Amino acid sequence: MSLLRAAISLLTGRTARRRAAAEAKIRASGLFDAGWYAAQPGGSARAPLRHFLARAFREGSAWPNPLFDTGHYLEGHPDLRRMRFNPLLHYVEYGEAEGRRPNLFFDPVWYANEHGLDGPAGALRHYLTEGAGRGLRPARDFDPEVYLEAHPDLGLKAAEAFAHHVRTTAAASAGAKGQIYNGLAFRGAPGERPRYRFEKSAQPYCYLPPRRPDDLDARLAGLRARPLFSILTPVYNVDRRFLEAAIASVTAQWYPHWELVLVDDCSTRAETRAALEAIDDPRIKVRFSPENRGIARTTNAALAEAAGAYVVFLDNDDELTPDCLYELALCLDRTGADFVYSDEDKIDGEGLFSMPFFKPDWSPDALMSIMYTCHVSCMRRDLVEAAGGLRQGFEGAQDYDLALRVTERTRAVAHIPKVLYHWRTLPSSLASDMAAKPYAHESVRRLKEEALTRRGLPGTVEPVAAMPGQFRVNYHPRGNPTVSIVIPSKDNPQMLRRCVDSILSRSSYRAVEIVVIDNGSTQRPALKALDELRKLDPVTVLSDPSPFNYSAINNLGASRARGEILVFLNDDTEVISPDWLERMVGYAQLDHVGAVGARLLFPDGKIQHCGIVNLYEGPGHAFYRRKDEQVADFGRNTLDFDWVAVTGACLAIERRTFEAVGGFDEALPVAYNDVELCFRLVEAGYFNVVCQAARLTHHESVTRGADQASREKRARLRRDMMRLYARHPRFLARDPFHSRNLNPLSGLFLPNPV
């Protein structure tokens, strides 16, 4: 007993010392305002700092000072919440010195540079204790006086303006589905419009121009081939300043082997024609159409003038980054691809950058869901010509139609995970709002229907309610294949019966058999439920009383099942959408598809599974416990994208594919067996896809409990992860469908913290 007391005393002492050290660091930082904290909802006047240390990782916790938004900081560092690590302590020890933001607007790096501090460490304290009172600007585009002029009813002092702006914006954005209003705080020339506006991401973003390599000539000389790029730009009534900016972005290219083909589509604006007529550069071809022919025919006219082996598409008001063609040349030299696309961002009329799109590597199902390759697009010219160039009748989506037709002719597609293209957002552009060109909606629907016809695939194209202008493909089953639903279970009669009943009563697909594998149930209610299930016509009950091994149980079920399609399903799931099986079967029958996942929701309606990402800390669920109706990252949690893995809680796969890759790895009895199967499928050249319209409820880990519930389970989980990566080292800290430009510790598809 004395040893136990000694151990408890030792642990208690260590905890007390760690807490005291944390309190001392936060006090020394000057960033904890006890009076402020005590007055906030969720705060406490009794031992406020200790109260804050114990609760700050929780959702909706009080701020420690008027400018440290705990929710914002935790959103960018989700591992802190998981580890119960105090966000302010992390900011004091690491975040501020690394230039991370304590709220959406305060940039410690900019503040330090602007106001002559030695570095970002201490910037927030400086502003709180000195800068606000002196009227210093806390951010590039925030002027306290302008803010007060725009809100004369507030009765605030200038020193209080920024804190008010931060707090009210945070409160307003809490339920705003990602729409953040940045307020009115811009001071510029008379008549100049404010730069602050509605953004579609609460994450700060800044495009940093690349530095030209000192040894650029040597690098270019080392290329095995130096192709000529033909940049195709149809022109029509564009502002002269935007056209000249587009041309300047081409002439500024590091890579010298290019030509620019400008074809004017009979512009009626004198300034547009004057800008074209003033061009005097032998590398730039300028042609004028005698009639207005539309963007497709005008682009084809530029294609006919092209001499390069590869064509690059540039809109007349957009811009290439200076390293764009250089990076394309490097990629082509490395991969020999027929089609290369890059990441992109948006640029407005004032030159401000926003909304970066950090894309996955080649994802054919994502492309059938949304035009994700978009900009920059570089294609082999003879392949574009063989595909018939751009087609009339698809205005607003003509490039999307071309991308689908080109990728039907080649799988040599490469992705450059760098922003190489700035897409101009103007009131009339698709970059600004799909509603600006409603005819594009109809074009998107028709081009997908035609793609299904060309490919000989039965299916329908359906609008996506959460994303106006977007459409998903509902692939219909080919034939009437038998679907075998394999359900492992043990002593979970209520959930098992609810699961089976939901399949039988709610599913519209009838060619089904259900194979229940009882893993050694001993409780009387469970045994009774199994006897009742045996009496149902489509249900077979198998017995496997051996120690729990999820992989072995499912392999046994698959071996005894007779279906052409296998669906592995947890017993704690319930069907929501009646046509879930038709949709999953339709995907599973596609030649390029490996595993098909479903959208699984918790009973409260939040997301349990919409795809798995492979993060630095291991595989994890994307958008876990986020609201079902919220659209994130260009529809990544709403549309049917390809993923590195899908959960085995509901996984459909063709039997022949499952057997070809060897089924589940029985050396992984509990965790990561579904991920490991999906890794093997990717390595074999298949794509794993989540069919978001196939919806089920998932009472996660009801049967066996959470894998991290005890020290023993956590150790086992770690061992299983080590085996996973030992077998698949190419996936260690790498996910081809999760950009390296996104936070590798978060499944929320947030930009990397800066």
> Do 261 and 287 contact (CB within 8 A), yes or no?
yes
**What is the pLDDT, as a whole number, of residue 14?**
57
Answer whether residue 16 shows pLDDT above 90: no
**What is the pLDDT, as a whole number, of residue 42?**
85
Whole-number Å distance between alpha carbons of 201 and 468: 18
**What is the pLDDT, as a whole number, of residue 176?**
34
| Overall average pLDDT of the 346-372 stretch | 93
Confidence of residue 194 (pLDDT cuts 50, 70, 90): very low
Confidence of residue 10 (pLDDT cuts 50, 70, 90): very low
| Overall average pLDDT of the 308-324 stretch | 97
Torsion sign, CA atoms 554, 555, 558, 560: negative
| pLDDT tens track for 618-655 | 999 999 999 898 888 889 999 999 999 999 999 999 99
Q: What is the 3-state secondary structure of 340-351?
A: EEEEEEEECCCC
Answer whether residue 613 shows pLDDT above 90: yes
The percent of residues above 90 in pLDDT, for the chain, comes to 66
Alpha-carbon distances, residue 649 vs 76, 570, 572, 601, 699 (angstroms) = 28, 5, 9, 12, 10
Confidence of residue 200 (pLDDT cuts 50, 70, 90): very low
Torsion sign, CA atoms 420, 426, 430, 431: positive
Whole-number Å distance between alpha carbons of 752 and 754: 6
**What is the pLDDT, as a whole number, of residue 432?**
43
Confidence of residue 79 (pLDDT cuts 50, 70, 90): low
Q: Kindly provide the b/e burial profile for residues 598-608, where b requires at least 16 CB atoms within 10 angstroms of the residue's own CB.
A: bbbbbeeeebb
Answer whether residue 357 shows pLDDT above 90: yes
Q: Which residue is it, tokens 């790029």?
A: 229
What mean pLDDT, rounded, does the chain reach? 88
Whole-number Å distance between alpha carbons of 237 and 295: 12
| pLDDT tens track for 524-573 | 999 999 999 999 999 999 999 999 999 999 999 999 999 999 999 999 99
| Overall average pLDDT of the 362-366 stretch | 98
Weakest-pLDDT range from 87-101, 372-386, 393-407, 660-674 = 87-101
Torsion sign, CA atoms 230, 232, 238, 242: negative
| pLDDT tens track for 125-155 | 999 999 998 888 888 767 787 777 777 777 8
Whole-number Å distance between alpha carbons of 553 and 100: 47
| Overall average pLDDT of the 106-135 stretch | 85
| pLDDT tens track for 378-425 | 999 999 999 999 999 998 899 999 999 999 999 999 999 999 999 998
**What is the pLDDT, as a whole number, of residue 216?**
96
Contacts with 21 (C-beta within 8 Å, 6 or more apart), sequence order: none
Confidence of residue 484 (pLDDT cuts 50, 70, 90): very high
**What is the pLDDT, as a whole number, of residue 15?**
60
**What is the pLDDT, as a whole number, of residue 425?**
86
What would you report as the CA-atom Rg of the chain, rounded to the nearest whole angstrom? 29
Answer whether residue 175 shows pLDDT above 90: no
CA 695 to chain centre: 20
Which residues sit opposite 487 in a β-bridge? 516
> Do 166 and 69 contact (CB within 8 A), yes or no?
yes
